[in-house]
Amino acid sequence: MSNLEIDPREIRCGADEGAGREVLEGREVPLGGPRAMAVSRTLPGVHRRMIGAWCFVDAYGPQRATMRVPPHPHTGLQTVSWLVAGEVLHRDSLGTLQEIRPGQLNLMTAGRGISHSEESPETVLHGVQLWVALPGAARHVEPGFEHHPALPVLSGPGYAATVVMGTLGGVTSPATAYTPLVGAEVAVDGDCEVPVDPAFEHGLLLLDGEVAEVGRGPLVYLPPGRSAVRLSGRGRVLLIGGEPFGEEIVMWWNFVGRSHDEIAAFRKEWMEGEGFGAVEGFDGAPLPAPVLPGTRLKPRGRVR
């Protein structure tokens, strides 16, 4: 799943004003036309645009729906697909055909450019779609795709954390990462303390169940400086985090770049060129890019 808004807005950020916990309310975004699946988008937000290198968080379900995302492009980012329920079929311009199920990771590195589609039969869908912004040194890498059917688990009193990306408590995911970060699904059973890197800022999103520190819906932001996250209840929580991202970026539609002109060039290539390749096997036309806004897009930092 990707950003299918027909009128995407520039993602604006300014200097970091934040110290302390923040509750980042999501906004509902319909994806995919008249029978659209609704998602809750908590990153980018009105104030806070990134948590570490994580720059996009869509949560959906549980809802009965059919996912149908036509071929579309990406640059300068990684897509991280994580399911709680359902199944999704991924196709891309590298020739990949890969189904994902709960507990498995599909990781696509767009790098200099890739296109892909996603679809599912009518079923109960529940999961999250996340993007990781690539740093300047890696943003033009060759595109790639990884499927990880099994991931390592960090366990402690009251919790078991599946490490999806990066490192948590000394346990490292096999997935490729380009900045110091963490992504994990934490199963909470009672009271627990999950060890985290004090150099990281973190975000918590409730996936299911009841966990006292994380309300249903919003993303909870925690600043750097803590060595553990305390949780209590019974449920599953998405934990994301990383070193504060020091570069300014431009996010527009499905592109992460560094300038207006670069984004305009990406759009032109998608509409007129062949640089993003072709997705074979999808029954339908590629997704056209929206019209660029009338004002120039500006690179911004982590918060507005």
H-state helical runs in the chain: 260-272
One-letter amino acid at 92 equals D
Indicate the burial class of 162 (C-beta count within 10 angstroms; 0-12, 13-18, 19 or more): buried
What is the H or E stretch that residue 26 is in? none
Q: What is the pLDDT of residue 15?
A: 28
Q: What is the pLDDT of residue 29?
A: 87
Q: What is the pLDDT of residue 31?
A: 72
The whole-model pTM stands at 0.92
Residue 146 and residue 281: Cα distance in Å, rounded?
A: 19
What is the phi/psi pair of residue 253, to 5°?
50, -120
| Residues of the chain falling short of pLDDT 70 | 1-19, 32-36
One-letter amino acid at 296 equals R
Q: In this structure, what token pair is assigned to residue 183?
A: 């992504």
The pLDDT tens digits for 150-179 are 999 999 999 999 999 999 999 999 999 999
Q: Do residues 165 and 175 touch, judged by C-beta distance below 8 A?
A: yes
CA distances, 106 to each of 6, 101, 128, 298 (Å): 25, 9, 12, 31
Q: What is the pLDDT of residue 37?
A: 79
The pLDDT tens digits for 231-257 are 999 999 999 999 999 999 999 999 999
- C-alpha R_g of the chain: 18
Q: What is the pLDDT of residue 46?
A: 86
